[in-house]
Structure 1
């Protein structure tokens, strides 16, 4: 029987039972980014490569995302070949990357470029205190989060102007700030930000929790650095 599993189950099986991770996409997509420790067995080669797999350990196959059916086809193929523990990580590596988990490969993603230490504020923080932190930070921006670390808005220079001195961060924040996932490509995002005349975007997981802050200035200051990892 094929088992469909989520990200947490992948981590648990890999850590506790040394599950074998197999990416069934073509080599160039594997080289772009893959889960740590995963091996590349493209779907057309799966049957021929099955003899090299350890049948005493679970096998987890994955591809790109929910819309990619290669992992499902691969898991069913493994079941047909006699593997009793074939698992399909159907959400794929995009789910993994979007969750701010480590990866291997040459993909230059936002997660490798962003700041993980932006100025943050809670909803009830006095705005005067937040303003001092904003002024002292090169980005000139604070990310407002709730008690669960879910992003609620941002405060920059425009939001500070004309605001009552007794206001809180919630009173002043702008709630429509754009966000991106850690899996965004840095180069493509930079082009979009240039077109939209944005200097910074907040990086969040799919559940809205804060990961970091991606700024055009931060990116360009790193372009000459050889090690992006």
Structure 2
């Protein structure tokens, strides 16, 4: 029994999936609860393609006390990155900073694209 529960806990790591909300739930939060979509990818990754309407706030900036966060800490935050791993770390940091409603898009941008949700690229300067 212990082995089974241990495998259940490790399965998301082994399968490459992260805990989080579905893309449909993320869209619902944005549309109905005014959630802010934050992409914690590095600027070059963000420029190459990101969810439409997302703010870029790299994980390193959150660790350093980023200024681009909403001042209302009850406002829902929806985080994503390429796979979801950095977004999970960012969610932990944001909760420690007092943000009450932080969720991660399970599967990150890979899942976003698979769901055929809108993406955009930053034009080259």
Report the TM range for the smaller structure's normalisation.
0.7 to 0.9
Larger fraction in strand: 1
Return the match for 2:82 from 42, 51, 64.
64
Aligned length: 103
Structure 1 residues 58, 31: CA separation in 2 closer, same or farther (over 3 Å shift)?
Answer: same
RMSD over aligned CA atoms reads 2.0
Q: Deviations over 1:173-193 (max 9, x none)?
A: xxxxxxxxxxxxxxxxxxxxx
Larger Rg: 1
In structure 2, stretches of 5+ residues that fail to align are 1-18
Task: Name which structure has the greater RCO, CA cutoff 8 Å, separation 6+.
Answer: 2
Provide the C-alpha distance between the structure 1 equivalents of 2:62 and 2:28, rounded to a whole number of angstroms.
24
- Normalised by the length of structure 2, the TM-score is 0.74
Larger fraction in helix: 2
1:97 aligned partner? 113
Q: State the Cα distance separating 1:52 from its structure 2 match.
A: 3.4
1:39 aligned partner? 55
- Structure 1: 4+ residue segments shifted above 2 A: none
1:73 counterpart = 2:89: yes
Q: Deviations over 1:48-99 (max 9, x none)?
A: 225731323101111112xx51011000111111111011113101111122
- Normalised by the length of structure 1, the TM-score is 0.42
In structure 1, stretches of 5+ residues that fail to align are 108-229
